[in-house]
Amino acid sequence: MTETDTPRPPDDPFLAVVVPAALAGERVDRGVAMVSGCTRSEASDLIAAGDVWLDGVVVAKASQRLDTDGVLILAVDPHREPEPLRADGSVEFEVVYSDDDIIVIDKPAGLVVHPGPGHQGSTLVHGLLARFPDLDPERGDVVGEAHRPGLVHRLDRGTSGLMVVARTPDAHADLVEQLSTHAVERVYTALVWGHPAHDHAIIDAPVGRSRRNPLRMTVAIDGRPARTHVTVDERFDSPWDTALLTCELETGRTHQIRVHLDSIGHAVVGDDLYGPRRGSVRLDRPFLHARRLEFVHPDTGESVAFESPLPPDLRSVLDGLVPVEPG
């Protein structure tokens, strides 16, 4: 096996945790069961399938012992019978467009896209099932993954903007292929701290999960390839040095824009996970909005494009900034 063939932890695991002191010295199978709530048998099956990592290495034996502060990663849900999805009509989001094949939505900030270990309450998926019952795996064909019906890509909880959802297996396969070949145009607006040195840049840096903090991604030599195209639209010098950027994804890794911008010293304003904490900014989420989405319609073969205006909370922050005087 070559170095590039060596298995590595997934970028989007079911669960990633730092081993607490209380579990130091415990067997890995017991630790997996305790942090995920699954049975020891389910934990053992997950380990046997090669879906458990400890500090970036696949766990080979269930009897292996845990160390304090080690990073334990579960690639998939160890529970044999995941909780069934239930439609929830109270979930609020805007449907920008829909037909028999696709749904384009404008996701509000704060809405989680799908259930996971960090959030088992109502999500966008639950809301989609209420408005589009045909997506329910129990009513017909499974579109994509049963626990994420229709989803072909995601937005972070704090990111607002456009997403496309598939309504049929064929549409799902087509859109996934377009994403994998970088044929989908995804354009974001971001406000960052400081003034980038260049008006145009391509950030080409692999992104992987941080071994120090499993909640964070980072630029890592063994990460997955990632490219972000960045253009400075406007610079501001009051009340803070900031810049408004257009970011276009060539790839779509977890937290890609946030990680890439932080890696060049210009973290997204409002991003407490990657950027500096500044209480003077009245924003409880990253200033990041997916404003444009363009792709080929999976049925008609025609290019379709959608735009989303900047939400009021972001607009309010932008209106309070003073542009740099020319010259």
Which residues are annotated as catalytic? 156
What whole-number distance in Å separates Cα of residue 60 and Cα of residue 277?
40
CA-to-CA dists, residue 63 to 40, 67, 83, 223, 245, angstroms: 12, 13, 29, 29, 50
Sheet containing 52-54: which strands, arranged edge to edge? 15-18, 71-74, 52-54, 57-58
For 296, the 3-state DSSP assignment is strand
| Burial (CB count within 10 angstroms: exposed 0-12, middle 13-18, buried 19+), residue 325 | exposed
CB 275 within 8 A of CB 285: no
Residue tagged 């990680």 (tokens): 259
Residue tagged 């499993």 (tokens): 214
What whole-number distance in Å separates Cα of residue 322 and Cα of residue 150?
42
Residues in contact with 326: Cβ distance below 8 Å, sequence separation at least 6, in sequence order? none
CB 166 within 8 A of CB 277: no
Query: Residue 90 carries which side chain, given as an amino acid letter?
Result: S
Work out the number of other CB atoms within 10 angstroms of the CB of residue 268.
Answer: 26
Using CA atoms of 127, 255, 4, 28 in order, give the dihedral in degrees to the nearest 10. Answer: -70
